[in-house]
Each structure stands twice: as structure tokens, then as C-alpha cells.
Amino acid sequence: MRSICSALLAFTLLGQQNPPAPDSGVVKFTSSTQLVVEMVTVTAKDGKPIEGLSAKDFTVTEDGKPQAVSFCEFQRLEENPSPVPAVPAIPSNQATTAQPQIAPEKPGDVRYRNRRLLILYFDQSYTPLYNQLRAFDSAIRFVRRQMTAPDLVAILAYSHGMVRVRQDFTDDRAALVETLKELSATASGSALQMADENIADLGSAFGQDYGEFNIFNTDRQLAGLQTAARMLGNLNEKKSLIYFASGLKLRGMDNQAQLRATVNAAVRANVSLFTVDARGLMAEAPLGDATVGSAGGAGMYTGALANAQAASLAQSQDTLWSLAADTGGKALLDNNDLSVGIVNAQRSITSYYILGYYTSNEALDGRFRKIKVTVDPELNARLEYRRGYWSGKRFADFSAADKERQLEEALMLGDPITDLTIALEINHFQLNRAEYYVPVAVKIPGHELVLARKRGAEHTVIDFIGEVKDEFGVTMTNVRDKVDIKLSGQTATELASRHIQYDTGFTLLPGTYTLKFLARDAETGRIGTYLTNFVIPNLNKETERIPISSVVLSGQYVELKDALYTAGKLSSQTANPLVSNGRKLIPSVTRVFSTSRDMYVYLQAYQLGASPAQPLFTFVSFYRGQSKAFETSPLAVTEAMENRLKTAPMRLKLSLEKLRPGRYTCQVTVIDPTNRKAAFWQAPIMFLP
């Protein structure tokens, strides 16, 4: 299947012209503070925690400058394990489902006080099934036998490019075991074999290079960890994340930027990564086992392939070790008892102090700041804490890599960002017996960009990124583009009352899909997200009714040159059925129309195998409540395209002058009198004066 039929980009300003609101002349003064939270473990020579200290007992400096400690709180963790309870069966209707975020800590909330926070994070996208099952079994064994009274455990899973919270923090062993069993049962549907450039390629001779493909995969894995760390940053307590994966291999300098961003996010969120190699102790055959294709070439005789295989294994473990070492955790490598990795994380968190201070350096420059914490030397104490953090950065100072990571992170978040308002419409038109063209229209209110114009920007860039996944969570196609919009002159004057519209198109097979689409104002950094499920029906199986496409309602039928902004050659628009005779139909995403303008209706009917095509009749009806307010005369369609589908395009132009403003139900009816068939389509619409 073709992943993307064409990138049809359109930039259209819709609506009436209104002058911008006059400047109110109000002067605003703003200030900001940055709260830095530090976890400090204070132990005596015998390794036991020292209790009873207060804020005045600590001295904190940042880049050598003293900081005033605003609060100090002691977290006491009991080390005596609780008795192992029975694991009751949980009814299937109470099975744990995924949620978008870890529940944040509310003011006055003490449920995490004196508790140890452990997070089990499973990488299901690039971990073979048998390694996943080993990891789940080890986690279940830990929960049943080694979990102690202070422990609160959360379960996160990364699959198909998204981080999902399978279980929020809880000490309910039964719920945790049930969630782990659920993940184990569904793991077979999500496991993918890891590709490596050293494995024999038995696919197409002109396929994408494995090494190049894995650069993107590794960034996605690291970005998933970064998303989890930022999610956990809402909690002030110290946290240990146990990362189960079958290695993680960097490609030279290609993944260094994302690796640094992941480590920075973990350090800033007080998250220590305890990496666990789910492969356990490996004893591989010199040229690979039966799970990979046979090697070839001179390398199998010289030992080069065997050396490359050993080096690849070492490199994949080096990355796990680096993630743990750079965040204060510990890596578990070459050990078949994976629960040891969880125990290491458990033992790393003993009683500790939470210190908080408002930094005197309020600059959002994104630089690393060194922290030093000391206590009275007479205590002869040993202190463990993070030695610094990366300050925040203003969006205006983001580099191109920072901006790209921001979009990738937003795309992976289960909880959508809604700073920008987005409306979206998805339609489908059958191309042949198998494929359907799916045009997507996205609309953003123009007033959303007024903030960028008030800041003095002459133009802004709207970044678009979208991803289509099937019902199994596999990415089928995606889009990544941008549109440059002028914020001066007449365009700026029209922004307050008009809309920005963007189109793109995909080619898909029948099925159930999920579309996640993001737009970002590159001047202010504001992001809007639209997430929806849609179905492409198999019209070949429609026997009782007339197979028809989506029905597109529009208030604009414009010259193609006026609608397109950055599409390049106009000939690329020929795949779009909404384009004909050098003009384009602009879908009304919000389905709000003015009675002073004409309304356009477009759809297609299909008569697969008919020879010749039979005449069809179509008409449009408007209902207000249960009463019919208006109905057009039937339009006869006697011609069809010369294809196997016998596609019959239907275009109607309606005058709305006689209709009163208000809410209506629009119904489109198609009749085939020869075969005694019909088709109906309905949607709510609104008419304005």
C-alpha cells in the first residue's frame, strides 16, 4: 500500500473582513520564579539515615551563589517488608485500562509522603516477545514476593510510538499483577523484531537501509523515556524508573541530541533510570541463530561478522549503562533474574530530605547550573544528591532540534495539548477496488495568531505534523509540513475574522484508523492537538444500498491558484476529487454557512461492474426539527467515469436566501430507480444571516 498519495497543501483565508481591534493601551508587568526541588540523602558512617534536620541545617549554593532554602521535608521509609497478601482474582470487567497521565500531586496531598515511588516501564515496540514475557514474569515475582510496605508502583508501557499509563501509583498487589498479566497476554500483538545493520537483509534490494531506519527508532525510544520523565516531574518525591528493553543502540552522533534531552528531562524531574537488559545472559552463535537470516560474503570466513555481532551487543548495552549512570541509577546486564533490577531501584531509595528553593538566577537560558549542598561538618555525614540541573528555555531561544523534539513529544503524549483551537474533517473517495483517497481538511481560527502579531512578528510559521495508525496501533502514514503566514498588511487585518485552512491527503485501504494531528505556531510555541477515530468502509461489500463516498459541504468554490499556497505544481492536485476544471471546493469543516452565499454539495456514487452505468437522481433536504424546511429538485446524473467503479460525480449548488438562520439537519438522498436502490446521508448544520 502506498503510504501517502500526495501532500496537498492549501492555505485559505475564509470569512468577512473586519478591522482589527484598537490597542487598549494597557501596560502589563510580569515576573516569574523558578522553584528548584532537590532530594538529599543524609547518612552517618554506619549507613543509617540522619533524622531531625531542618532547613537551617542545610547550605545550598547554585553556581557558587548561596540560595535561601524555602522548605525542608523528611521522607521516612521503613525497611521492614510487609507480609505477602493473597492475590485475589479481579473480574475482567474491572481490568486496568490505559490513561493519558500520572495523576499530579495536588496541594496538601500526602499520599506520597514517606513512600517509595517505583515505575515499571516496558518498551514493547522494539523488544522481542520472549524478552517481554521474561520481563513481565520478573515484575510479577517482585510484586508478589519482594514489594515492601513503603512501595508504590506504577506501570507504563511504550508501544507504537506512545507512552501509556497502564496503572497509576498504587500498593494494591492484585491490581498490579492483573495489569502485568494483561500486558503479557497482549504482548504478542505488539512485539517487533529489532532490525540491525549486521543482520542479513532478505527484503527488497531497494528497501530502506536498516541503519538509517533505526536512527529514527532509537530517537523514538529515547523520546518515550523523556515523555515518561516529564510526566513524572509533576511529583516532587524521588522516583526510580525501571526500564525493560532489549538493548538500545545509538548510531554515532545521530542520536546524541535526543539522548541528552532524555537525560536532562530525567534529572530535572528527579527520576533515576534503572535500565534492565531483558535479554538476560546471552550466549549467541557466532553468526546468529535461527531467528535471523543467514549471513553471506567474505565476512563469515574472516570473522568480521562475528566481531561486528559482538560489538553490536556491547554497544546496545553501553547505551543502557549510560542512561543509568547519567541519571543516578544502575544498569542490570547479563543477568537472567530481571527482578534484581527492580530490587536495585528499591534499595536505592532510603529515607531522604526534600529541599526546595527559588533560584536567584531567573534567566531562562537553558544552561547547566551546578548545585552544592552541605551540612554541619560536625555531623560527619555523607550526602547524596544531584549535582546540578538544566534550566528552562524560552521557546524563542529553541534551536531547530529543540522545536522538532517538542513536536515529537507532543505527538507521543496521551494527554493532548490544546493551546490552539483546531477543527478537522476527514472524507473518503474510492479510487479503485482496493484503495481510497482520504482528504483531510484542518481549520485554525485566524484570531489564534493575533498573539504573535501583537508581539511585533511580521510573519509566523504554522508547523503541522500528523500520524495515521490502524486499529492495531501500527503507523500507516504520516505528514510533516509547515505554512508561512504573513502578519502584516491586509492579511493581518483579515486574521481577526478569518480562518487558516490546510489540506493534505492519504491513500488507505478499508479499515478502522486513528488520526492524531498537531499544529504549532512557531512564533509563540502554542500547540493544538486533534485526535479522532475514523472508518474507511469497504464499499465493494455494499449490496443493499447505493455505494457512495463522503458528502462534502462547502461555502467556497475558488480558483486553484487562490487556494494553494505552498503545494508546488498545480498538477499534483489532480488526485484530489475536490479539484476540477482549475477550481477547488473548500470543505466547510465547522459546517456553518451564511444564507447570503451559495452552498455547494459534492459526493460520488459507484456502480461497480455496471455496463453501462445506470442513471441516478440526487436531491438535498433541510429539516428543522421534524419539519421539512426546504428540498431541492432532483438532479439527474447520467454520466460516469470510464473506470471499473463507474464513478458518478454529483455536484449541487444551492441558494440559501429563503432559509431562516438557525440549526438544521441536512440530508442528501441518492436514488437508483433502475435497480430500486437508495442511499442517505445526514449531518447537522447551521445557517447565519
Nearest-angstrom CA–CA distance, 81 and 508:
55
How far is the C-alpha of 507 from the C-alpha of 8, rounded, in Å?
A: 12
| CATH, residue 220 | 3.40.50.410
pLDDT in tens, 449-458: 665 555 555 6
Residue 340 lies in a domain: no
Query: How many Å apart are CA 539 and CA 434, to the nearest integer?
Result: 10
- In 24-150, at which residue ranges do the beta strands (DSSP E only) sit? 35-43, 59-62, 65-67, 69-75, 116-123
Same domain, residue pair 440 and 320? no
**Residues 6 or more apart from 226 whose CB is under 8 A from it?**
258, 261, 262, 265, 266, 405, 409
d(CA 486, CA 489): 8
Q: Is the pLDDT of residue 357 over 60?
A: yes
pLDDT at position 60 is 93
Helices (H), 556-616: 560-563
For 475, the grid coordinates are 503507523
Flag whether 665 is in a domain.
Answer: no
Query: Where a domain ends, among 538, 558, 580?
Result: 538
State how far the alpha carbon of 350 is from the alpha carbons of 88, 104, 237, 267, 682, in Å: 30, 23, 12, 18, 63
Q: What is the mean pLDDT of residues 602-625?
A: 90
Write out the DSSP string of 446-507: GGGGHHHHHTT-SEEEEEEEEEEEETTS-EEEEEEEEEEEE-STHHHHHHTT-EEEEEEEEE
Q: Is residue 209 situated within a structural domain?
A: yes
Closest C-alpha among 31, 28, 27 to residue 364: 31
Q: Residue 531: how many CB atoms within 10 A of its CB? A: 12
Residues 382 and 482 reside in one and the same domain: no
**pLDDT band at residue 191 using 50, 70 and 90 as cut-offs:** very low
| Calpha distance 307→323 (Å, rounded) | 25
- Domain co-membership, 207 together with 295: yes
268 shares its domain with 405: no
Q: List all residues 6 or more positions away from 292 whose beta carbon is below 8 Å from its beta carbon.
A: 199, 200
Q: Does residue 604 form part of some domain?
A: no
Task: Give the per-residue pLDDT at 389.
Answer: 77
Question: Can the peptide bond before residue 612 be classed as cis, meaning omega within 30 degrees of 0?
Answer: yes
Same domain for 183 and 52: no
Q: Which comes out higher in pLDDT, residue 549 or 128?
A: 549
Q: Any bridge partners for residue 637, and if so which?
A: 616
Task: Report the C-alpha gap between 251 and 211 in whole angstroms.
Answer: 8
Pair 2, 148 in one domain: no
pTM: 0.59
Q: Would the pLDDT of 325 be above 80?
A: yes
Rg (CA), the chain: 30
Confidence of residue 289 (pLDDT cuts 50, 70, 90): low
DSSP 502-555: EEEEEEE-SEEEEEEEEEEETTT--EEEEEEEEEE--GGG--SS--B---EEEE
Q: What's the rounded mean pLDDT across residues 305-332? A: 81
Is there a single domain that holds both residue 245 and residue 317? yes
How many domains, the chain?
3
Distance CA 89, CA 416 (A): 34
Of 52-56, 89-93, 124-128, which range is least confident? 89-93
- Give me the pLDDT at residue 497, please: 61
- Asked if residue 347 is part of any domain, the answer here is no
HSE-up of residue 518 (Cα within 13 Å, Cβ side)? 25
The pLDDT confidence band at residue 121, using thresholds 50, 70 and 90, is very high
DSSP category for residue 405: H
Which of 286, 301, 334 delimits the end of a domain?
334
Task: Express as a percent the part of the chain with pLDDT over 70.
Answer: 76
pLDDT above 90: residue 625: no
Last residue of a domain, one of 496, 514, 538: 538
Residues 386 and 410 in one domain: no
CATH of the domain at 460: 2.60.40.3880
Cβ 448 vs Cβ 454: under 8 Å: no
Do 131 and 219 have their domain in common?
Answer: yes
Arithmetic mean of pLDDT, 78-88: 46
Q: What residues contact 248, with CB distance under 8 A and at least 6 apart?
A: 218, 221, 222, 275, 316, 319, 320, 323
Asked if the structure places residue 167 within a domain, the reply is: yes
Q: How far apart are CA 150 and CA 128, in angstroms?
A: 33
- Residue 590 pLDDT class (50, 70, 90 cuts): confident
The per-residue pLDDT for range 482-525, each reduced to its tens digit, is 887 765 555 555 565 667 788 888 899 999 999 999 888 877 78
182 and 244 co-located in one domain: yes
In a domain, 624, yes or no: no
Between 7-11, 282-286, 349-353, 397-401, the lowest mean confidence (pLDDT) is in 7-11
User: For residue 434, what are the domain limits?
Assistant: 1-21+397-538
- Helix (H) / strand (E) element for 158: namely strand 151-159
Same domain? 315 vs 436 = no
How high does pLDDT run on average in the chain?
78
| Span 47-79, pLDDT tens digits | 888 888 999 999 999 999 999 998 898 888 765
Q: Both 178 and 296 in a single domain?
A: yes
Q: What is the pLDDT of residue 92?
A: 35
Residue 548 phi, psi (nearest 5): -130, 160
DSSP 604: E
Does residue 203 lie in a domain region?
yes
